[in-house]
Amino acid sequence: MKEKLIEVKSLKKYFKVPSGELHAVDDVSFDIYKGETVGLVGESGCGKSTIGRTILRLIPHTAGEVIYKGENILAYSDEKMRTLRREMQMIFQDPYSSLDSRKTIGQIIAEPLLINKTVPKNQINEVVLDLLSKGGVSRKLYNSYPHELDGGRRQRVGIIRALALNPSFIVCDEPVSSLDVSIQAQILNLLQELQRNMNLTYLFISHDLSVVRHISDRIIVMYLGEIVESCNANELFKNPLHPYTKALLSAVPIAKYNQQRQRIILKGDVPSPINPKPGCRFAPRCWKAKDICFNECPCLKEYSDGHQARCHFVGEADDMPAT
């Protein structure tokens, strides 16, 4: 039996906005096991980043629990949380804004070590240099400033900083989205290598389905603050159950010549998450929607081993929309 590292239970995050309540994350529950990578996919505004940030308590939650090592960390005092942060780190999307532009690379990586006093002061330099080589950054850049580095190297520094305190869990929030494909492959390989060597657990947030499939063991698909489907990575691509997942998979452009796949073009845009209407949140864009979908919210049900989906009509025939 695999060991649970993190249990997210009925997590909710609402933001108050002038026109009501924005349901960014609505009653989301999932587990993360030790040593695995959980991919969190969805389009902009579906709440993926908010989940990552709420788990790490970078923003306060509205309701729910996050159980880490048997304790609800959302109830921790700030001070206790600060100590715990050593074990839980984050890699940000934009390597251009997540590094302090007035500090050198050496100072940036040394900062968490200095604050947490995990390493005696006279050894910090050594540790930083060691980390640099682990992350594939030349020692020569120790005294450089972030603006002197290209995007790929900057992202490496962001990763190294997250690793400085030997964490066990890392939230990767779109770590390769702003990088070119040739650099993206380098960073993905680095993340996988570090995971093996340091026994890390990742929550990998991304909108790029091929990247998520490549790196994840399990995938959670989100739509408007809710989980619509979750299962093993390969299963999701072979046998998607929810109409939104099907549409999402069919919309990914494939870099192969003349590869025809039946495409489901969704009508309209993602509706506003402010004061959401009752019923299934995907119903207004769904080609399968019937009356029940607009009135009754489907529950997340398990259909086969570890494969959950939130739809009234899972498994029904007539799977493709009439176009």
Partner 1 sequence: MSDNLLEIKDLHIEFRTFDGVVKAINGMSFNVPRGKTIGLVGETGAGKTTTALAVMGLVPSPPGVITSGQILFEGEDVLKMSNLKLRNIRGDKISMIFQNPMTSLNPVYRIGKQMSDVIMMHQNVDRKTAEQRAGDMLEIVGIRRERLNNYPHEFSGGMKQRVCIAMGLSCNPQLLIADEPTTALDVTIQAQILELMKGLKEKYNTSTIFITHALGVVAEIADYVVVAYAGMVIEQGSLKEIFTDPKHPYTKGLFACLPDIDSESSGALKVIPGAMPDPMQLPVGCKFCKRCPEAMKICYMKEPEDIEIAEEHKVRCHLYQMGSKKQ
Taking the C-alpha atoms of residue 188 and residue 181, their distance in angstroms, rounded to an integer, is 10
For 186, other C-beta atoms within 10 Å of its C-beta total: 17
Closest to partner 1 by CB, 205 or 247: 247
Q: How far is the CB of 78 from partner 1 (least distance, A)?
A: 36
Q: How far is the CB of 11 from partner 1 (least distance, A)?
A: 23
Closest to partner 1 by CB, 39 or 167: 39
Binding site for partner 1 (CB under 8 A): 43-44, 150-153, 180-186, 188-189, 192-193, 207, 209-211, 213-215, 233-234, 237, 247-248, 250-259, 263, 265-266, 269-270
Taking the C-alpha atoms of residue 229 and residue 223, their distance in angstroms, rounded to an integer, is 9
Using an 8 Å Cβ cutoff, are 144 and 104 in contact?
Answer: yes
Q: How far is the CB of 286 from partner 1 (least distance, A)?
A: 12
Q: How far is the CB of 321 from partner 1 (least distance, A)?
A: 13
Q: How far is the CB of 253 from partner 1 (least distance, A)?
A: 3
Closest to partner 1 by CB, 2 or 117: 2
Closest to partner 1 by CB, 117 or 267: 267
- Whose CA is closest to 15, among 49, 66, 41? 49
Across the beta sheet with 20-33, what order do the strands follow? Answer: 20-33, 4-17, 63-68, 71-72
Q: How far is the CB of 270 from partner 1 (least distance, A)?
A: 8
Closest to partner 1 by CB, 71 or 180: 180
Structure tokens at 54: 């709420």
Give the DSSP H or E segment for 38. strand 37-41
Using an 8 Å Cβ cutoff, are 49 and 205 in contact?
Answer: yes
Closest to partner 1 by CB, 58 or 252: 252
Give the DSSP H or E segment for 47. none
Tokens 């080609």 — which residue?
A: 287
